[in-house]
A and B are shown apart, each in its own frame.
Chain A
Amino acid sequence: MPTLSIDGTEIEVAEGTTVLRACEQAGVEIPRFCFHERLSIAGNCRMCLVEQVGVPKPLASCAMPVTDGMQILTRSERVQAAREGVMEFLLVNHPLDCPICDQGGECDLQDQALYYGRVRSRYREAKRAVTDKDFGPLVKTVMTRCIHCTRCVRFMDEVAGVPELGTMGRGEDMEIVAALDGCLHSELSGNVVDLCPVGALTSKPYAFAARPWELSHTESVDVLDAAGSAIRIDSRDGRVLRVLPRVNEEINEEWIGDRSRYAIDGLAVRRLDRPWLREGGAFRPVTWEAALAAVATALQAAAPERTAALMGDLPGLEGMTALADLMRARGVASVDCRQDGGAFGPGEPASWRFNAGIAGIDRADALLLIGTNPRREAPVINARFRKRWRAAGIPVARAGPVTDLTYPVTELGAAPQVLAELAEGSHPFADVLERARYPLIVVGSGALARPDGGVVLGLARRLADTVGAAGPVWNGFSVLQRSAARAGGLELGIVPADGGLDAGGMLAAARAGGLDFVYLLGADEVDPDAFRDTFTVYQGHHADRGARYADVVLPGAAYTEQAATYVNTEGRPQQARPAHPPPGDARPDWKILVALARELGSPLPYESLDGLRSRIAAAVPHLAHIDQLPPPAPLAPFGDPDGALDAAPFEEMVPDYYRTCPISRASATMAACARAVADA
Chain B
Amino acid sequence: MSGGAELFPGPDRDAAEEILGRYPTAHRQSAVLPLLDLAQRRHGGWLPPAVVDAVGDYLGMPSMRVRELVTFYSMFHDRPVGRYLVQVCRTTPCWLRGSDEVLAGAREELGIAPGETTPDGRFTLVEVECLGACADAPVVQINDDYHERLDGERMRAWLRDRRRAEDD
Interface residues of A (CB under 8 A from B): 157, 163-170, 179
Contact = CB atoms under 8 A, between A and B. Distances in A.
A100 B62 CA distance: 36
Contacts of B62: 157, 163
A166 B65 contact: yes
Interface in B60-74: 62-65, 67-68, 71-72
A372 B153 CA distance: 72
Interface string B36-77: 000000000000000000000000001111011001100000
A160 to B, nearest CB: 12
B65 A168 contact: no
B68 A167 contact: yes
A164 B62 CA distance: 8
Contacts of A157: 62, 65
Given A163-B64, A163-B65, 20 more contacts: A157-B62, A157-B65, A163-B62, A164-B64, A166-B64, A166-B65, A166-B67, A166-B68, A167-B68, A167-B71, A167-B72, A168-B67, A168-B68, A168-B71, A169-B71, A169-B72, A170-B71, A170-B72, A179-B63, A179-B64
Interface centre among B64, B65, B71 (most CB of A within 10 A): B64
A97 to B, nearest CB: 27
Contacts of A170: 71-72
Nearest to A166: B64
Contacts of A163: 62, 64-65
> Nearest 5 A-B pairs (CB), nearest first?
A163-B62, A166-B64, A168-B71, A166-B68, A169-B71
A179 B64 CA distance: 7
16 contacts: A157-B62, A157-B65, A163-B64, A163-B65, A164-B64, A165-B64, A166-B65, A166-B67, A167-B68, A167-B71, A167-B72, A168-B67, A168-B71, A169-B72, A170-B72, A179-B63
Interface centre among A164, A165, A168 (most CB of B within 10 A): A168
Nearest to A171: B72
Interface centre among B63, B65, B67, B71 (most CB of A within 10 A): B71
Interface string B119-151: 000000000000000000000000000000000
A531 B64 CA distance: 52
A163 B64 CA distance: 7
B89 to A, nearest CB: 17
Contacts of B67: 166, 168
Contact size range, B: under 10
A166 B62 CA distance: 10
A268 to B, nearest CB: 37
Contacts of A165: 64
Contacts of A169: 71-72
A322 B67 CA distance: 58
A167 B72 CA distance: 9
A63 B62 CA distance: 25
Contacts of A166: 64-65, 67-68
Contacts of B68: 166-168
Contacts of A167: 68, 71-72
Nearest to B70: A168
A184 to B, nearest CB: 12
A166 B67 CA distance: 8
B97 to A, nearest CB: 25
B63 to A, nearest CB: 7
Interface centre among A157, A166, A170, A179 (most CB of B within 10 A): A166
A42 to B, nearest CB: 13
Nearest to A179: B64
B53 to A, nearest CB: 10
B25 to A, nearest CB: 16
A157 B61 CA distance: 11
A164 B68 CA distance: 11
A163 B67 CA distance: 12
B93 to A, nearest CB: 21
B102 to A, nearest CB: 24
A167 B64 CA distance: 9
A169 B73 CA distance: 8
A286 to B, nearest CB: 58
A179 B72 CA distance: 16
A416 B135 CA distance: 73
A185 to B, nearest CB: 12
Nearest to B63: A179
Contacts of B64: 163-166, 179
Contacts of B63: 179
Contacts of B65: 157, 163, 166
B120 to A, nearest CB: 29
A272 B72 CA distance: 55
A166 B78 CA distance: 15
A169 B63 CA distance: 15
A169 B77 CA distance: 11
Nearest to B66: A166
Contacts of A179: 63-64
A267 B67 CA distance: 41
A301 B71 CA distance: 76
A179 B63 CA distance: 9
Contacts of A164: 64
A168 B68 CA distance: 5
B75 to A, nearest CB: 13
Interface in B5-20: none
A203 B12 CA distance: 48
Interface in B67-120: 67-68, 71-72
A537 B68 CA distance: 58
A179 B67 CA distance: 9
Contacts of B72: 167, 169-170
A168 B67 CA distance: 7
B104 to A, nearest CB: 25
B83 to A, nearest CB: 25
A179 B65 CA distance: 10
A170 B74 CA distance: 9
A649 B49 CA distance: 38
A170 B64 CA distance: 15
A157 B71 CA distance: 18
A460 to B, nearest CB: 33
Nearest to B64: A166
Contacts of A168: 67-68, 71
A165 B68 CA distance: 10
A210 B62 CA distance: 38
Nearest to B78: A168
Nearest to A173: B71
Nearest to A168: B71
A168 B71 CA distance: 5
A156 B68 CA distance: 15
Nearest to B61: A163
Nearest to B62: A163
Nearest to B67: A166
A167 B71 CA distance: 8
Contacts of B71: 167-170
B29 to A, nearest CB: 13
A200 B68 CA distance: 20
A623 B67 CA distance: 52
Nearest to A156: B64
B48 to A, nearest CB: 16
Nearest to B74: A170
